[in-house]
Amino acid sequence: MAATAPAAQRLLHAHLAAGSAERERFIAIVFFALTSLALVAVAAFAPEGYDVVLPQMLLFAPPFAYHAALLVALRRGWFHPIVPWLDAIVQTSTLAAPYYMLVRAGGIDAVTESSIRVGWVALVGASAMRASPRISLASGVLAAGELLAISLGLAGDQLTSQQHAQLYLSAAFIVVAGGASASAAIYVVRQADAALRAVREQDLMGKYLLHERLGAGGMAEVFRATYSPEGGFEKAVVVKRVLPEIASRTDGERFLAMFREEASLGASLAHPNVVQVLDAGTFRDRYVVAMELVDGASLARVLRRGGALPAFAVAYVGAELAAALDYIHARVDRDGTSLQLVHRDVNPPNVLVSRLGEIKLSDFGVAHAVNRASLDAGRVYGKLGYLAPEQVDGSAIDGRADLFALGLVLYELAVGAPLFRGRSVDEVADFRVIEAELPAELPPALARLIADLLAARPGDRPARGTVVRDRLLALAGDAAPYPAGQAELARRVREALADPPAESAATPATPATRDTPPTAATKLL
């Protein structure tokens, strides 16, 4: 295999290994059917009485019972890497007992005239289905050994030198059949390898190999992937790919425009607290975006696993997110004009926490540059429980809407539950938060900051993320965000990852207006 695609080769071998159980199940079905037919044929067409037929039927009973038990075991998921070898031994030896009975009864004539050796060749050839050259070779050697052992053991002293030569030639032919079967297995694997390389040259722009799907929504699906360009360099990434049916939807063009805008905005951002967009392109009319892989869990999963965070961890998350928001709000266009960029979807599922406790803001699918022409005029996007009042009112928004959402996230981290529970637009638009709703043990300075962030009027909130960060960094004692905050988040992530993932598939962000309020939590993928 060429060194330019080592990941492709590993993917093929992993796929073949993962399919071993299914291949053995198929082979077991074939042999179960063959032994069943053999039993029926012996019982129905043998001219002798049952005193003769019964011993003949017993010759096929063991392989019949074995394959019946094997099918039950495989159906229940009981599989071990030694099973293909054991199956090959049993299946190759299926004809050993009938051949032994023939030679014992017929002597030299059975050795020289029996057609069972043709069946042995067929059994050895069938081993190629396992795509394992070693098993095929071993099957050929085993079948040839059984032929020689039975023939020489029961009729060897009756064979002439010419018959001896013919017998060894037959055994050699069976071994050659094993070699041919092994060659066929090698050829099939190499052809699959070559096909995989050929597909790889085009698939996903020739640079990305998709692995397991991490999630899917109404707009796109997300995969863990390997970035593997020419030269063998590899990097673990996340690939987001638009679903094929999007183009046929009535609002498909708008969603595709939003997807491209997300990639464009993400690629322009470079901050340690923002998930980086690495690449974007089109493959087979489907838009693809490659992004930084954060080895960790979402803040939502961390909350579900461990509940509310201590004050210093809340302050740490707030300081890191405030830095990210201040960065994106301060972005300028190429001509130096402020973009007035607003994320519009700050909520726990979109905040990723690495195993080291690093905080990363993700998902710019509904981010919006206020001073640009809107792709979705008259619509409000985001997760309803994390919208600012001005967002659902249809008023003009700026970065302070994101700071309101940050306040909601910090409230949820401190309390262990979201502030908005009725999930109605009116609840967001008409609420008034009071500082007393926060836990009494929360440091007063942190409680005041959360209350300020949740002010109903944008003018009453902190003006910028840097102001929020400075107030959090000023916290002292048990509320100080550094250095204990990051260590606590890292610990929480490890605990969350120790449990099976319980996050549901994400759904696309949808318009949220007073006329058409969303009925479920929304997140754009």
**So which residues are the catalytic ones?**
345
In the chain, count H helices and then E strands. 18, 10
C-alpha closest to that of 402 among 372, 359, 361: 361
Half-sphere exposure of 418 (CA within 13 A, CB side): 20
DSSP state of 309: P
Task: Give buried/exposed letters for 118-155 (b at 16+ CB in 10 A, else e).
Answer: eebbebbbbbbbbbbbebbbbbbbbbbebbbebbbebb
Residue where the block lists tokens 């070559």: 194
Residue 439, class by beta-carbon neighbours within 10 Å (0-12 exposed, 13-18 middle, 19+ buried)?
exposed
The secondary structure element, H or E, covering residue 27 is: helix 20-45
DSSP state of 337: -
Q: Identify whether 481 is preceded by a cis peptide bond (ω within 30 of 0).
A: no
C-alpha closest to that of 406 among 388, 394, 389: 388
Contact 298, 503 (CB under 8 A): yes
Task: Give buried/exposed letters for 447-461 (b at 16+ CB in 10 A, else e).
Answer: bebbbbbbbbebeeb
DSSP state of 93: G
Residue 432, class by beta-carbon neighbours within 10 Å (0-12 exposed, 13-18 middle, 19+ buried)?
exposed
Task: Give buried/exposed letters for 472-492 (b at 16+ CB in 10 A, else e).
Answer: beebeeebbbeeebbebbbeb
In terms of phi and psi (left: phi > 0; alpha: psi -120 to 50; beta: otherwise), the region of 357 is: left
